[in-house]
A and B are shown apart, each in its own frame.
Chain A
């Protein structure tokens, strides 16, 4: 536990230390300042504008901005869908994979434009290199950039006043990709390659086996080892909170995550940009204290949940305890604890940390089998997503949703101090509350109704392999993850069926665009308002008591919405008497 605590602390401290300069850097980028980065990349930036036919001076109101986001994503989705269908006829396909089935192609296209990266396929054995690079990796960049680009106008709405202009989508998109995502992922790719992550365009390796064996009357002499341009995809999938791995094993695969350092860095970069964006918010709004308050609120939500998860994982499986099987920290047991579905190299503690980070952010990557987590730890994965992906959350989108919850807290707090609520000088009225409600309402509706449909239809139940409360958790997870654009999965549910492809596809689409369109409308309304100067009668949004209120609102909304469902899933499973479990 001590080493896991140390790891967790180091992770958070390093991320925050790197997040601060990243926030400052992004502030300069989005302000269009001339500094070293823009001197270096400025020509490319200006060339892009000339090609698109736009300029930073041509700003958009919220409707045009939102329309641009929708059209851009629609075009990206269609492109990816067609690419996947036709990959059999296209180059860079050394393994000669045929086109992806339409249902799966739809699900995958939606999955990658929404930054979910829910995978109903096995990457290494389904996708051509062209699909991986031009389709998946490109969308890894663009969907992550979309998340940030959704956030920018919302922040600007607090900074500006009496204007309809919220920025230019194309400019924001270009700057995000060019100045933020590409440089970061190049740096990270190089580190990963240095550590041994594969990066090649040659086909799978057919290696002679050291110990050939016979299976089904055939003697197996060779082993197929899938390789490919892994490092480049790995870096952006973690940085951009995508999470869709090159291989189905995701970050448990040694070619994706070969060393202790890569494991640490891959965990860290998941929260790097979300944390950087919190500081960007502080820079842009000049409300640095409020930015810290947001970060502290996120940590208050994250740390206890992650510690509980780690505690249960390291404590091990109660059934084994009862049977007298040791799960203590032996060298052979890599730290001990619940080792089912855990890589020996990584151990239960670091795996639990990775799991909470991947679900707290919308990454959804995995370096262990989430299905094999102790029920309560799996429940924490679920709960972190069900909070609405606001604890760090997806790049950009997470902070946007967090601000929505903060507006709720500001509204309650503002009324409690006897003033029309204001957030950063903007009055929160009926329209703002309506938009925030619409935004926050979507996810619980998707998850609850989606799970209800899965539970009551034959097609939904057909996918469930596990009996008991765990089977219910699997369905709940299968809907919660796409609806929150997370993309992680409890295995044990066959999800490449027409039913789940459609259900999860819909959840991903609504979970992405229905959540953020109201927030853009909110930004439009806020930008038009005048700014009220703060006084001692104004509710301060950085005080401990306000942090408490914000955390309370987020927890209460999450807990009240999902307590019944969690009670019938992970909680019932966790509390089940050991003998009861063993009968299954």
Chain B
């Protein structure tokens, strides 16, 4: 049952996705769908107009039909390419969301027929539990949802929620009966009555976010859409007024040539308005959500993803995010009269059967210091496992009673055996605690051997990630229940910018408010119910899937893997989303320069032959020049769909360097690329 949180995501068959999306893109040619996107709606109206003109030309046999037809064909293709991008993103999103939904069902609960330890149970999906159901959890099981213990006593690891690594006791009845979803039973068992359904409403919300009709635009998307509508409006006026300008020039100025034709005007309009970004904008937004889903994060609003890109301060829980959830043995402190080797041997023996990470770390430390201690557990050894009552564990090794445990429980144990508590041990214990670590006392019978220092181990690579974040202008704040001394020591080791020690829900909330009133955007992770106010207050609240219902309601994202480090990925996804939009907008607008140089000389050359000097691409004829521009304008959409779905390349860097890179690639590239593309298409058309 250990692996209930692992996701066995079925591979999604992308081939089916693209085929389905192609079908969708034709279905989306209805005016109702097209009207949602003002930029593409202009293309849509132009396509119909030209279709009518095409039939007129056919009937009139005026020799224009071929040109009109080709332009119109490519306008329809432009629309279909745009639809395809959106449809593909939508399908990917749905597939991703439903595969995530499946994996949620795999979390299994032992549902009891009646509330007795030995009653028969049935394994059911965690999400199917309803309020009032009675379940059994045993050592090693995750508690599937919030509930109340009815009978039994158990040590529960709530470190994922509280950040406190020491296990807590939960027992039926009384004050300590509330259990939280996502916590893990370490020893013994509990019978729990479900008080909160582990619903999957988040996923439903997420799925609706990728589906066209329900999709709401995010603030930046709205602003960008306004900009695109503005550009479309300006270019509409630019092209519409070209007609009278051309008319005047033909009749009153140059007295030669012919007035610009409707197909050329519509071609110019479609080329000028930002169709590239207009077509890809929906796909970019959906792709952002899909990327989040791929990271096993469920967002409740697109707004939250955008906000993640803006985050200035990350508040991260120490335990599980910055340090490994469990502590590791760091040093042996023998009492006087005992050698370090003796202590190590005793500690090693007492821990050989201990499967917990802490136990394993003691064995590993002993091996490191004394590589010749290789003995294995005797077959007749009597294992004493950790229980909530005794709060110690160990082994009876050839008559030797080896025990390890917290100082106070060991003190009681020694007292029971009428042993003596060695002088200096208290000093050792205090020294360990002062350094930000946890002491563990080891004894052999009534003889105390010494203490082991259990330390928080900072995750490897986390320091580098924080440095990256700092480079990006994001500050990290470590939140911990530890005392300031311990917190400072770990903060320095992990390389965070700041820490919040002895954190209580109120202090977290107050700190977030402080940051926000200073103008910062704050992201935080949490999962306990008492985190809810802070999660709700934060601009981005990431809740662990293991979190309580209240915490989940308060957050705007849920991490299905319960991995708080995800926040860093979410920031990346949020930034990438905005970068993709900005870069493709720049690219789209920059493209217009080349299109002008293709179309304007072609359109006016009959009036002013000298304007052929503007045909700097040396396109072969006015007709092929205009066609090439329209074809390029259409083809660039499918070419950029993969980029829109994947997002532009992201590297943790300062804003200035990112801007420089993107302006060069998408600004300058956006000016140059169409010159090359249009020229190539023109060459191809000429050969044909």
Contacts and interface: CB of A to CB of B under 8 A. Distances in A.
Q: Is the interface of B mostly helix, strand, loop or mixed?
A: helix
Interface in A444-496: 444-445, 448-449, 451-452, 455-456, 461, 464, 467-469, 471-472
A216 interface: no
A434 B228 CA distance: 11
B2 to A, nearest CB: 38
Contact of A545 (B235, B611, B613, B656): B656
A567 B574 CA distance: 43
Interface string A414-458: 111111100001001110111001001100110011011001100
B473 A564 contact: no
A575 B610 contact: yes
A414 to B, nearest CB: 7
Contact of B520 (A418, A419, A532, A568): A532
Nearest to A556: B589
B610 A572 contact: yes
Interface stretch (A282-290, A302-310, A534-542): A534-542
Contacts of B596: 560, 563-564
Interface string B644-664: 000000100011101110110
A543 interface: yes
B245 A543 contact: no
Contacts of B472: 536-537
Given A412-B586, A419-B310, A441-B230, A455 B248 contact: yes
B219 A430 contact: yes
A437 B230 contact: yes
Interface stretch (B94-102, B187-195, B575-583): B575-583
B600 interface: yes
A274 interface: no
A470 to B, nearest CB: 8
B238 interface: yes
A416 B659 contact: yes
A428 B578 CA distance: 14
Across the A-B interface, give the 3 residue pairs with the lowest CB-CB distance, nearest first. A537-B473, A415-B582, A418-B575
Interface of A: 408, 411-420, 425, 428-430, 432-434, 437, 440-441, 444-445, 448-449, 451-452, 455-456, 461, 464, 467-469, 471-472, 530-533, 535-540, 543, 545-546, 548-549, 552, 556, 559-561, 563-565, 567-568, 571-572, 575-577, 580
Contacts of A434: 226
Nearest to A472: B253
Contact of B238 (A420, A437, A455, A561): A561
Contacts of B86: none
Contacts of A444: 234, 237-238
A459 to B, nearest CB: 14
B655 A420 contact: no
Given A413-B659, A437-B227, A441-B233, A420 B219 contact: yes
Interface string B603-645: 0100110110110000000000000000000000000000000
A420 B224 CA distance: 11
A472 B520 contact: no
A418 B658 contact: yes
Interface of B: 219-220, 222-224, 226-227, 229-230, 233-235, 237-238, 240-242, 244-249, 252-254, 272, 306, 309-310, 312, 470-475, 517-521, 574-579, 581-583, 585-586, 589-590, 592-593, 596, 600, 604, 607-608, 610-611, 613-614, 650, 654-656, 658-660, 662-663, 666-667
Contacts, number: 222
B655 A571 contact: no
A511 to B, nearest CB: 15
Dominant secondary structure at the A interface: helix
A548 B577 CA distance: 24
Contact of B604 (A467, A531, A539, A568): A568
B582 A413 contact: yes
Contact of A468 (B223, B246, B253, B579): B253
B306 to A, nearest CB: 7
A471 B255 CA distance: 13
Q: Max chain B CB contacts within 10 Å: which of A461, A471, A545?
A: A545
Contacts of B229: 437
A536 B518 contact: no
16 contacts: A413-B582, A413-B659, A415-B582, A416-B582, A418-B309, A419-B310, A420-B220, A433-B223, A433-B227, A437-B230, A445-B234, A449-B237, A472-B253, A533-B312, A539-B656, A539-B659
B606 to A, nearest CB: 12
Find the residue from A428, A546, A560 having the highest chain B CB count within 10 A. Answer: A560
B220 A415 contact: yes
A413 B666 CA distance: 11
Given A411-B223, A420-B220, A560-B593, 17 more contacts: A415-B220, A416-B663, A418-B658, A420-B578, A428-B223, A429-B222, A433-B223, A437-B230, A448-B241, A455-B252, A468-B253, A532-B312, A536-B656, A540-B655, A563-B596, A571-B614, A575-B611
A576 B224 CA distance: 41
Contacts of A432: 223
Given A420-B220, A437-B230, A452-B244, A469 B662 contact: no
Nearest to A461: B252
Contact of A430 (B222, B306, B520, B650): B222
